[in-house]
Amino acid sequence: MKTDLVRISGQKEEASKEKEMCGIESLNRQGSLDYNREDGRATLTLTLTLYNVRKIELSKAAQVFEMFEAQIHHFETRRAKKPKNSAVDLDIFVQCEVHSADVSTFISSLKRVAEDVRTSREDKVPWFPRKIQDLDKCHDLITKYDPSLDHRHPVSIISSLHYRGDPLPRIEYTAQETATWREVYRKLSSLYPTHACTQYLDAFQQLEKYCGYQENNIPQLQEVSRFLKERTGFQLRPAAGLLSARDFLASLAFRVFQSTQYIRHFSSPMHSPEPDCCHELLGHVPMLADKEFAQFSQDIGLASLGSSEAEIEKLATLYWFTVEFGLCKQNGSIKAYGAGLLSSYGELMYALSNKPEYKPFDPEATAVHPYQDQAFQPLYFIAESLEDAKAKLQNYAMKIKKPFSLHYNPFTSSIEVMNTPQKVKKTLCQMKEELKNLCLALENLS
Ligand SMILES: [Fe+2]
């Protein structure tokens, strides 16, 4: 996946910054898995302390590092605090990178030189945003859509490009852009009554009523974002192109949806190589107005925070087969809820034509299934219902290994890391208060 390439190069920079660090503080940082070595084998950064090494054994220690091709980031010797063999015993502090498959033999070999070898190898967790404002730091663009590079595009589209963190601007779309929208809107809305799920149809009706969803008007993101905020707490944020999977999913954790604002080229109204506002407004927005689906989307985002690259890849694939191309059972038939389908006339017809293969939605299997991003999907996953998909996803997310649990605080739009008993207790107290209120409400009703 190209998304991973982007993240890996970003991590390389971070790793090189770390390599520049020296001093005892840096030794307290923990080990982390890395796949960036030239031979492609996984490596582990280890922090080691070798106690009471005889001065004459120092060269033997060096030989072990050499034998295991350890890349040394930091090496420091000090006179031993508690000399055991002789007064000139040394304590050695090392931070190095070794192949993860060699770790146990590497440490055993060091133990022949120093009786007491201690390692610190807690998994390092990739950085993730804790506050909604931190999303300004999530901006790894995979491709930036640049109409100026495409001679077919009218120059006016350039003015509809905006970047991260900017307020949602109002766009004066041209008559030609509105005509493109009209064509897409007319064709797709003729299919919705038979092909879209009821959650979509309900929200679409509301959007027509309150948000200027009409064939002669391209709705403004500002108004749509306000509408979503009132319904489910989701808000839109302008994006200038495809973001890395990690950054895109992270924004969902805060109920923020990164949205493009430009429209596809008029010469191909039924196809856009990149997401455009037809895809966002007709595909994503109506579903984000549904409470169940909004929670499902946020759950994928929350699961992504602090996850490994391998987990991000799986979550991005889950996102692809659900939020983008998901189907669900409804009243005895199959309906679409995925934005990639609901914004594509051709694929929406095809997906429900019995031509493709169907499988029941099962996060474990779906997350590792290869997907198609250049043509219609040969296979779609069908959820029993959106509630069922949400419950299955939550179970899947709970199995992702992380050294902490996270809690989203909707009052402050921030992520709390539950890494101390006090924090868990505090959150539990807040929940108890809410439960009390709910019990009172029930009493009042009875
Ligand atoms: Fe999309």
Q: Residue 39 above 80 pLDDT? A: no
5 part of a folded domain: no
Domain that holds residue 419: 406-445
Same domain, 31 and 142: no
9 part of a folded domain: no
Q: What is the mean pLDDT of residues 166-191?
A: 90
359 part of a folded domain: yes
Same domain, 142 and 91: no
Q: What global pTM score does this model have?
A: 0.69
Say what the pLDDT of residue 330 is.
95
Same domain, 165 and 188: yes
Closest-CA residue to 318 (of 228, 245, 247): 245
Query: How far does residue 260's CA lie from ligand 1's centre (Å)?
Result: 10
Average pLDDT of the chain to the nearest whole number = 81
Say what the pLDDT of residue 272 is.
73
181-185-186-190 Cα dihedral, nearest 10 degrees: 170
Query: How far does residue 275's CA lie from ligand 1's centre (Å)?
Result: 6
Say what the pLDDT of residue 161 is.
40
Active-site residue, 279 included = yes
Query: How far does residue 340's CA lie from ligand 1's centre (Å)?
Result: 6
97 part of a folded domain: yes
pLDDT band at 413 (very low <50, low <70, confident <90, very high): very high
Say what the pLDDT of residue 123 is.
53
Q: What is the mean pLDDT of residues 157-173?
A: 59
Query: How far does residue 236's CA lie from ligand 1's centre (Å)?
Result: 13
Q: Which of 180-189, 272-281, 390-399 has the lowest mean pLDDT?
A: 272-281
The residues near 435 (Cβ < 8 Å, ≥ 6 apart) are: none
pLDDT band at 140 (very low <50, low <70, confident <90, very high): low
Residue pLDDT, tens place only, 272-291: 777 888 999 999 999 999 99
Catalytic site residue from 74, 153, 195, 279: 279
pLDDT band at 341 (very low <50, low <70, confident <90, very high): very high
Residue pLDDT, tens place only, 247-273: 899 999 999 998 888 888 787 777 777
List the CATH number of the domain containing 150: 1.10.800.10
Residue pLDDT, tens place only, 294-328: 999 999 999 999 998 899 999 999 999 999 999 99
Same domain, 88 and 201: no
Say what the pLDDT of residue 18 is.
32
Q: Residue 148 above 70 pLDDT? A: no
Query: How far does residue 339's CA lie from ligand 1's centre (Å)?
Result: 6
Same domain, 150 and 261: yes
Say what the pLDDT of residue 120 is.
67
Say what the pLDDT of residue 113 is.
82
Higher pLDDT, 69 or 160: 69
Same domain, 325 and 424: no
3-state secondary structure the chain: CHHHHHHHHHHHHHHHHHHHCCCHHHHCCCCCEECCCCCCCCEEEEEEEEEEECHHHHHHHHHHHHHCCCEEEEEEEEECCCCCCCCCCEEEEEEEEEEHHHHHHHHHHHHCCCCEEEEECCCCCCCCCCEHHHHHHCCCEEEECCHHHCCCCCHHHHHHCCCCCCCCCCCCCCHHHHHHHHHHHHHHHHHHHHHECHHHHHHHHHHHHHCCCECCECCCHHHHHHHHHHHHCCEEEECCEEECHHHHHHHHHCCEEEECCCCCCCCCCCCCCCCCHHHHHHHHHHHHCCHHHHHHHHHHHHHHCCCCHHHHHHHHHHHHHHHHCCEEEECCEEEECCHHHHCCHHHHHHHCCCCCEEEECCHHHHCCCCCCCCCCCCEEEEECCHHHHHHHHHHHHHCCCCCCEEEEECCCCEEEEECCHHHHHHHHHHHHHHHHHHHHHHHHHC
Catalytic site residue from 100, 307, 343, 344: 343
Query: How far does residue 9's CA lie from ligand 1's centre (Å)?
Result: 24
363 part of a folded domain: yes
Catalytic site residue from 284, 297, 309, 313: 284
List the CATH number of the domain containing 63: 3.30.70.260
Q: Residue 14 above 70 pLDDT? A: no
Is 25 known to sit in a ligand binding site?
no
Distance CA 260, CA 239 (A): 5
Query: How far does residue 242's CA lie from ligand 1's centre (Å)?
Result: 10
Active-site residue, 251 included = no
pLDDT band at 157 (very low <50, low <70, confident <90, very high): very low
Neighbours of ion ligand 1 (CB under 5 A): 275, 339
What percentage of residues in the chain have a pLDDT greater than 70? 82
Residue pLDDT, tens place only, 347-381: 999 999 989 999 999 999 999 998 877 788 999 99
**Structural domain ending residue among the three candidates 121, 151, 179:** 121
Catalytic site residue from 177, 280, 309, 324: 324
Same domain, 178 and 239: yes
Same domain, 183 and 102: no
Same domain, 105 and 68: yes
**Structural domain ending residue among the three candidates 121, 154, 180:** 121
pLDDT band at 343 (very low <50, low <70, confident <90, very high): very high
Checking 10-13 for CB contacts under 8 A at 24+ apart, the result is 10/140, 11/36, 11/126, 12/36
Same domain, 33 and 154: no
Count of structural domains, the chain: 3
Same domain, 162 and 105: no
Say what the pLDDT of residue 36 is.
43
Query: How far does residue 116's CA lie from ligand 1's centre (Å)?
Result: 54
Cα–Cα–Cα angle for 34, 40, 45, nearest 5°? 25
Is 162 known to sit in a ligand binding site?
no
Query: How far does residue 444's CA lie from ligand 1's centre (Å)?
Result: 44
Is 324 known to sit in a ligand binding site?
yes
Closest-CA residue to 44 (of 109, 117, 123, 107): 123
Same domain, 269 and 350: yes
